[in-house]
Structure 1
Amino acid sequence: MHDIKHIVAIDIGSTNIQMAIAKEHAGRLIIVERQTQRINLALGLDDEKKLSSTSIESAITCLREFSCAFSRLPQTDVRIVATHSLRQARNKSQFIGAAAKVMPYPIDIIDGKAAAHLIFNGVAHTHQLDSRALIIDIGGGSTELIIGKQFSPSLTSSLPIGSLDIQKRFFNTGQVNHNNYQQASQFINEQLAHITARFEHFGWQQVLGTSDTIHLVCRALEQLFASPLITLNSLVKLRKKLLFWHAVDSITLHGFTSDEKWQLSSAVCILESIVKQLNITQLTYCNAALKDGVLYELATSLQKSDVRTKTVKSLTNLYHIDTQYSERIIKQLNKFIIQLTTPVTDLEWQSLCAAAKLHEVGLTINSTNSHLHSAYIIEHSDLLGFSAEEHQLITLLIRHQHQHIQQLPSILPIKHERFITLLSLFRLAIICTVGRLNAPPIPLNIHINAHIIEGELSPSLSGFHGLLAKLNEERKQIEETGIELKFRCQTVA
C-alpha cells in the first residue's frame, strides 16, 4: 500500500488565519481538516503601520496550535502565505522571527497580484469556469478582482479596500448613518475608478464572490430576505436595514458574532460600490479561497484538469462503478435526447451524463432501494465543478431513476415539465441498456411531441415479455407525472 501524501496550506489573512490539510486520492484532492481562527490583524495595525504586540502574540499562538497537526511534514508539502496586513506591517520581521520559533516552515509574504492568482487558482479547480468569470475576493485589508476563464486569469487587480480597514476608518464608533456610509462609499469609489474601465472592457459572463466577507453578507441576506443572492437591489435593502438599526449593538441577526456585526456595514458598503461601479447584475458566493489555490499548487498532479471530469472519475473509482455500462446508457440517452424539439442545455446534458455515471453508487450499501442510497451519497458529496443547480438536478435524476416517482421539490433547477421529460428519457435509457456485458441496446425509436413520448419497438422484441412488462410498468409510472408514454411495435414490411 502506498503512503498517503498530505499537503498543508495556511493563509495568514487580515481577518482570519486559515489552515487546510488535504490528501490526494483517486485523482482528487480531499480536505481532511480545516481550521480557522479570527485574529483581526488589520485592526492590530497602528497609524505607523506597526502590528501591536497583542496581535502578534494572538497570531503566533494560533500558528503554534495549527502546527501540531502537521509539524513532521517536509517543507515541500507545506506552504504558508501572508497577505495584505503582514505585507503592510513595518515590524513584519518581528512577526516572522516569532513564528520561526514555533514552527519550522517559512512564511511567504505575497503581493496583491500573487494573492489574486492564488484566489483564481482555487476557484478554477473547484468550479467549472467554461465562460469568462469575474472573481471578487474581499479580505480584511484588500480586495482582489480577477477576470479569467478555465485556468487562465486574464486581468487581476488588488485594491486597498478591505472590510476591516474600512470598518476602522469609517465605522469605528459602531454607528452606521448616512454620513459615514456616504464617506466610505466615496473612498471606495475613488479606488475602484482606477480599474473600472479596464475590467468593463474585458467583460464577463458570470460573477463569483469568495471570502468570508462576502459569505457574511450572503448569510445576512438569506436571514433577512430569504435569498443569499447578491444584487444591487438586495444590497440596497440590506443597507437600509443597517441604517435603520443605526448601531452595531442594535443589529438583530441570529448566529452573528460581535466581530461579524461590526464588520457587516463595511462589507455591505464595499460590495454595493463594486456592484454599482462595475454594473454587476448578480453575484453568487462560492466557497473556494486563497488557501485552496495554494493546495492545488502543491498538488501538481491535479493542476489544470477538467474539474467535473475529475470529480466524476474520483467517485466512480471510489464506489467501483461499472463505467462501461454507464457509457452505454449515455449512448442510448443521446439517441433519445436528439429527438427533443428544444435542444438540451449544457447544464442539462452535464447533469444527465453525471447522473448516468453515478446512478449506481448506492449499490455499495445495498441493492435494495439502491436508488435512494445513491441519491443520498450524491446529495451529500462535494461535486466540485458542478453548480448548485447541476448538483440538485443530478441528485433528483438519480433518486427517481426507477420505481415510483416521489413528490418533487416545489422549486426545481429547470422547469417542471422539462425535468419530467428528461427524467422519462433517463429512465427509458436505463431500461433499454440491458445486460452487464457489451450487449446491444434495445432497439427503441422514440418520438417526442409536447406531453407525449411515443416508443416504436422492433418486431423482434414481441417475445421479450419481461422487457415489455417493464415498459408497461414504466408507462404507468410516467403517466402519473402528466407525460403520456405510448409503445407500439413496428409492422413487418
Structure 2
Amino acid sequence: MTELSEAFSKIDARPTTQVAALDIGSNSFHLVVARIVAGSVQILHRVKQKVRLADGLDKHNRLSDEAMQRGLDTLQIIAQSIKGFEPDTVRIVATYTLRKAKNAKDFIQAAKQILPYPIEVISGIEEARLIYSGVAHTVQNNGQRLVVDIGGGSTEFIIGEGFESKMMRSLQMGCVSYTKRFFADGILTSGAFKKAVTAAQQELELIDAKYLKLGWRHCIGTSGTIKAIVFLAQSLNETNPEGFVSLDNLKTLRDKCISAGHIKDLKLAVTEDRIPVLAAGISILIGVFKSLKITTMEYSAAALREGVLYEMEEHLAHHDIRERTAQSLATRYDVDVDQAKRVHLTTLELYNQCKKGWKIGGQQYRNLLSWAALLHEIGLQINSRGVQRHSGYILQNVDLHGFNQEQQILLSVLARFHRKKLRPDEIPEFWQFDSDLVNKLIIILRLGVLLNIKRQDDFLPEFKVLIEEKKLQIIFPEQWLSNKPIISADLAREADYLSVLNYKLSYS
C-alpha cells in the first residue's frame, strides 16, 4: 500500500477546469457537466429532464403558470448538480419557447432565485451555430455536412465543413408545437400526418433551394426525437446500417402509427415520455427528407449543450468567437479602423477610471464596450446622417455569432445612442443587465466618442475622471479646455443630454 501511495504521489496532476452547460429547451432541459483538461472536454455527468415547456405556450405566446412551474421544479433538481460552481464556469442557454414567450421575463426572474447564473435567451441562428459546433467536435467525416436538429419548438438546419458553419437557419416547427397543432387529441390518422408533413414542407420552402444548391456529403441528425426514430428504424430491419434512418423507414413508422390509431395504443420500443411527440417528429422528418431530397440520415448524440461546452473551452482559452464576429463585421462594413481604435482606447480609459466608483467591474462589460467602440460607426455604410440610428439597426438585425439575444440588443443600444439626443423610453428593459448599468455603459461610450470628435491622433491629453454616484467629473490638464471652445461646447451639450438619465456631467 505504501508503494502504491508513493507511486501516485509522483504523478503530476494537470490543471483542470470544471464547467457546466444547461440547455433550457422547449421539450427537455439538458445539463452536461464536464472538465477541461489539456484543451480537451471530458464529459463527467449528464442530467436530462422532460419538461415540455412549449406545451404551455398559448395562441398569444404567453407561457402558462403550470408550464413555468414545471420548468422551475426541474431547475430545482438541476441546481444540485452545479451547486458551488464559479460563475464563469456555468452557461445556461434558453431556446425557442423563451424566445417566443411574451412573459419569458417572469420565468427568468423566478429562475434567478434557484440558479445564481444568468440565463441567455439565444437566437435561432445562434442555436444552430452552437448545435453545429457540438457535432463538428464529435463527428469525424470529410466534406460538407448537413446537420438537422428537431427541438420542441423549432428545427435547425446547418451546412458546414470542418468546424466552420456556412449556412444556418432555424424554422418554427418542433415536435411539441406540431403535436399540439396536429395530434393534440392523440388520434393518429393519415390525414393528420399528411397535414403535418405538408406544413413542414411549407416551412422548408424558405430554405430548400439554397440548401440543395450548396449541397452536402453527409447528413446528420441530432436531438432526442431523431435518436428515438433512428433506434426504431434499426429495429425495423436488421440489414439497416446502424445509426441511420431512411425515408422508407420513416414511412413504415408513420404507417405503424396510423395502424395503432391512437397514441395510447402505440406499441413501439421507445421510452414512455417520447411516445406523445413521436408522430410529430416523424412527420417533420418526412417533410425534411422530401424537401431536401435526403436518402439517409446518421444520428449524432452531440447537440446544443456540447456546442456550448466546447465554446466555453474556447472562451477559457481566450479564443472568443465574438471577437472574430466583431472584426468580420468591421471589415465587411468598411469601418474607419483608425477612428475605432481611438474611441476604443478612450472608452477603455474611461471604463477603467469609472468601474470602481460605479461598480461595473467585469470582463463582459469591458468586452461589450470594446465591441461597441469598434462597431459604433458601422451605420456609415448606409448614411452619415443619423449614423447612430443606422448603426443600431444593423447591429440589432445582423447575425452576430457568439452573442446571445440580450448581448446583441445591448450592443445595438450602445451604438444607437453613441451620439445626439438620448431617449430613455427607447432603451429596452433587459433581463441580464441592470438598467442603471446600461445607462453607465452608454455614458462611457458616448464620452469616448465625443472626446475623439476631431478624429486625430495625439489630440486628446491624459485626463482624470472623478465618480460620485450619479456624478461624473472629467479633469483635463490646466488650460487645455480654454483653448478648445468647440470641445467645451460639445461637453456642455453632452451634460444636457445626460441629464435625461439623471446623471450630472462636469468638466474642467
TM-score class, shorter-chain normalisation, is 0.5 to 0.7
Could you tell me which residue of structure 2 aligns to residue 82 of structure 1? 94
Matches within 5 A, 1:236-251: 236-251=251-266
Partner Cα separation in structure 1 for residue 270 and residue 255 of structure 2: 21
Could you tell me which residue of structure 1 aligns to residue 53 of structure 2? 41
Larger mean Cα displacement after TM superposition, 6-15 or 247-256: 247-256
User: 1:180-227: per-residue Cα shift (whole Å, max 9, x none)?
Assistant: 111111211110011000000100000000011101111222233344
Partner Cα separation in structure 1 for residue 297 and residue 96 of structure 2: 24
User: 1:216-253: per-residue Cα shift (whole Å, max 9, x none)?
Assistant: 11122223334452111111111111111111111112
State percent identity of aligned pairs.
34
- The answer to whether the aligner puts 1:221 opposite 2:236 as a matched pair is no
Partner Cα separation in structure 1 for residue 271 and residue 235 of structure 2: 11
Could you tell me which residue of structure 2 aligns to residue 50 of structure 1? 62
Corresponding residue SS for 1:105: coil
Are the counterparts in 1 of residues 152 and 176 from structure 2 also a CA contact under 8 Å?
Answer: yes
Matches within 5 A, 1:433-472: none
Deviation at 1:130, TM superposition (A): 2.5
Corresponding residue SS for 1:5: strand
Q: What is the aligned counterpart of 1:256 among 268, 271, 289? A: 271
User: 1:20-76: per-residue Cα shift (whole Å, max 9, x none)?
Assistant: 000023442111110000000011111221111121112112112212222322211
Q: What is the aligned counterpart of 1:148 among 139, 151, 160? A: 160
Could you tell me which residue of structure 1 aligns to residue 23 of structure 2? 11
Could you tell me which residue of structure 2 aligns to residue 204 of structure 1? 216
User: 1:97-152: per-residue Cα shift (whole Å, max 9, x none)?
Assistant: 10011111010000100000000010111112431000000001000000000010
Could you tell me which residue of structure 2 aligns to residue 335 of structure 1? none
Q: In structure 2, give the amino acid aligned to 1:53.
A: D
Partner Cα separation in structure 2 for residue 153 and residue 255 of structure 1: 32
Matches within 5 A, 1:322-333: none
Q: In structure 2, give the amino acid aligned to 1:280.
A: I
Could you tell me which residue of structure 2 aligns to residue 481 of structure 1? none
User: 1:441-492: per-residue Cα shift (whole Å, max 9, x none)?
Assistant: xxxxxxxxxxxxxxxxxxxxxxxxxxxxxxxxxxxxxxxxxxxxxxxxxxxx
Partner Cα separation in structure 1 for residue 248 and residue 70 of structure 2: 39
Q: In structure 1, give the amino acid aligned to 2:290.
A: K
Corresponding residue SS for 1:161: coil
User: 1:281-323: per-residue Cα shift (whole Å, max 9, x none)?
Assistant: 110001001000000011126899xxxxxxxxxxxxxxxxxxx
Q: What is the aligned counterpart of 1:109 among 121, 146, 152? A: 121
Partner Cα separation in structure 1 for residue 77 and residue 196 of structure 2: 37
Partner Cα separation in structure 1 for residue 144 and residue 202 of structure 2: 26
Are the counterparts in 2 of residues 296 and 302 from structure 1 also a CA contact under 8 Å?
Answer: no
Are the counterparts in 1 of residues 228 and 270 from structure 2 also a CA contact under 8 Å?
Answer: no
Partner Cα separation in structure 2 for residue 287 and residue 2 of structure 1: 28
Are the counterparts in 1 of residues 15 and 37 from structure 2 also a CA contact under 8 Å?
Answer: no
Corresponding residue SS for 1:31: strand
Partner Cα separation in structure 2 for residue 22 and residue 34 of structure 1: 9
Could you tell me which residue of structure 2 aligns to residue 441 of structure 1? none
- The answer to whether the aligner puts 1:298 opposite 2:298 as a matched pair is no
Give the alignment's TM-score, normalised by structure 1: 0.60
Corresponding residue SS for 2:176: helix
Deviation at 1:255, TM superposition (A): 4.5
- The answer to whether the aligner puts 1:69 opposite 2:84 as a matched pair is no
Partner Cα separation in structure 1 for residue 14 and residue 251 of structure 2: 55
Could you tell me which residue of structure 2 aligns to residue 274 of structure 1? 288
Could you tell me which residue of structure 2 aligns to residue 178 of structure 1? 190
Partner Cα separation in structure 1 for residue 208 and residue 15 of structure 2: 49
Could you tell me which residue of structure 2 aligns to residue 284 of structure 1? 298
Matches within 5 A, 1:186-197: 186-197=198-209
Could you tell me which residue of structure 1 aligns to residue 345 of structure 2? none
Are the counterparts in 2 of residues 80 and 105 from structure 1 also a CA contact under 8 Å?
Answer: yes
Are the counterparts in 2 of residues 296 and 303 from structure 1 also a CA contact under 8 Å?
Answer: no
User: 1:410-458: per-residue Cα shift (whole Å, max 9, x none)?
Assistant: xxxxxxxxxxxxxxxxxxxxxxxxxxxxxxxxxxxxxxxxxxxxxxxxx
User: 1:330-387: per-residue Cα shift (whole Å, max 9, x none)?
Assistant: xxxxxxxxxxxxxxxxxxxxxxxxxxxxxxxxxxxxxxxxxxxxxxxxxxxxxxxxxx
Partner Cα separation in structure 1 for residue 125 and residue 269 of structure 2: 36
Q: In structure 1, give the amino acid aligned to 2:77.
A: E
Matches within 5 A, 1:422-437: none
Partner Cα separation in structure 2 for residue 236 and residue 125 of structure 1: 32
Q: In structure 1, give the amino acid aligned to 2:312.
A: L
Partner Cα separation in structure 1 for residue 46 and residue 105 of structure 2: 27
Partner Cα separation in structure 1 for residue 285 and residue 180 of structure 2: 17
Partner Cα separation in structure 2 for residue 191 and residue 209 of structure 1: 18
Between the two proteins, the alignment pairs up a number of residues equal to 303
Structure 2: state its 5+ residue gaps. Answer: 1-12, 320-508
Are the counterparts in 1 of residues 232 and 269 from structure 2 also a CA contact under 8 Å?
Answer: no
Could you tell me which residue of structure 1 aligns to residue 245 of structure 2? 230
Q: In structure 2, give the amino acid aligned to 1:268.
A: I
Partner Cα separation in structure 1 for residue 56 and residue 234 of structure 2: 31
Say what the alpha-carbon RMSD is for the aligned residues: 1.6
Corresponding residue SS for 2:114: coil
Are the counterparts in 2 of residues 145 and 157 from structure 1 also a CA contact under 8 Å?
Answer: yes
Could you tell me which residue of structure 2 aligns to residue 445 of structure 1? none
Could you tell me which residue of structure 2 aligns to residue 59 of structure 1? 71
Partner Cα separation in structure 2 for residue 269 and residue 303 of structure 1: 42
Which runs of 4 or more aligned residues in structure 1 lie more than 4 Å from their structure 2 counterparts after TM superposition?
Answer: 301-304
